[in-house]
Amino acid sequence: MSKQRIAVAVDGPAGAGKSSISKVVAKKLGYLYIDTGAMYRAVTWAVLQKGITPTDEAAVTALLPTLTLRLEPTDEAFTVFVNGDDVTEAIRSQAVNQAVSQIASIKAVRQFLVAQQRAMATSGGVILDGRDIGSVVLPKAELKIYLTASVDARAKRRWLETKDKETISLEDIKASVMARDEMDTNRKESPLVCVPEAIVVNSDNLTFDETVERMIQLITDAEK
């Protein structure tokens, strides 16, 4: 009998490798991968593009009903659309990096996106990554993984991924990773938490491929 494909929640701090790892794991297992951080980034992009101040919660909230987000899977990952505009690259800009934690702390934004995330996850055979997947979005997920690494390792990885290394130093990236940790962990709405039932994977001493293997093992063990 074939195994039951499950819902997998992957949470953890910025730069732990959640999305790059989850993407590969999902592809290998034929699961659907949903990067919920990309959805918060897409809303942030729209806020900035409209010239709205990210701390203006009323204006951000009023913008939400005008936004249609779409994640379209591709061979490599997925394309992100906001009202039909391809924002896949734009949501990784430093301007979005700096404003996204503020936008993600707004209750109306979270309600707007969590409803869409739950709707996308109904079919099973999904990996969602974010900060509140195991705690809020999919509290009944069959498997919860908390993927983490030290601040130094995470900053180094983000820096290596940054296209424009000349204009941003490793120190600046580290400061921004720490600032995001602080906001994501201490915010009132759905803070980043490691729920007790989550399996912690620390990737400090694991290579990319080893982390992928570990996650595949956890998922195949959890499939009934």
The residue among 5, 2, 92, 85 whose CA lies nearest residue 40 is 92
- Select 187 or 223, whichever has its Cβ closest to ligand DC: 187
- Indicate the SS3 state at residue 26: helix
Number of CB atoms found within 10 A of residue 180's CB: 20
Q: Closer CB to ligand DC, residue 150 or residue 217?
A: 150
Residue 4: both structure tokens together: 């039951």
With CB under 6 A as the contact rule, the residue among 10, 21, 33, 40 that binds ligand DC is 40
Q: ∠ CA(157), CA(104), CA(128), 5° rounding?
A: 65
Nearest to ligand DC of 52, 223 (CB atom): 52
Contacting ligand DC within 44-83 (CB under 6 A): none
Q: Is 37 in the site for ligand DC (CB under 6 A)?
A: yes
Distance CA(184)–CA(154), nearest Å, equals 15
- Range in contact with ligand DC (rule: CB under 6 A) among 36-44, 65-73, 74-82, 200-208: 36-44
- Which residues, in sequence order, are CB contacts of 84 under 8 Å at separation 6+? 68
Binding range to ligand DC, per CB under 6 A, among 21-29, 59-67, 124-132, 168-176: 124-132
16 near ligand DC (CB under 6 A): no
191 near ligand DC (CB under 6 A): no
Structure tokens belonging to residue 82: 């906001």
Task: For residue 101, state whether it binds ligand DC (rule: CB under 6 A).
Answer: yes
Q: Which of residues 160-189 bind ligand DC (CB under 6 A)?
A: 180, 184
Q: Residue from 22, 36, 148, 203 that binds ligand DC (CB under 6 A)?
A: 36
Who contacts 41 (Cβ-Cβ below 8 Å, separation ≥6)? 80, 91, 92, 96, 100
Nearest to 33 by CA among 149, 166, 133, 161: 133
Does position 112 interact with ligand DC (CB under 6 A)? The reply is no
Residues touching ligand DC: how many (CB under 6 A)? Answer: 13
What's the rounded Cα separation, in Å, for the pair 4 and 50?
44
| Closest distance to ligand DC from the beta carbon of 3 (Å) | 27
| Vertex 205 angle, CA 203 and 208, to 5° | 55
Query: 7, 10, 14, 121: which one contacts ligand DC (CB under 6 A)?
Result: 14
Q: Nearest Cα to 144, choosing from 12, 49, 10?
A: 10
Name which of 9 and 212 has its Cβ closer to ligand DC. 9
Query: Footprint of ligand DC on this chain (CB under 6 A)?
Result: 14, 36-37, 40-41, 100-101, 104, 130-132, 180, 184
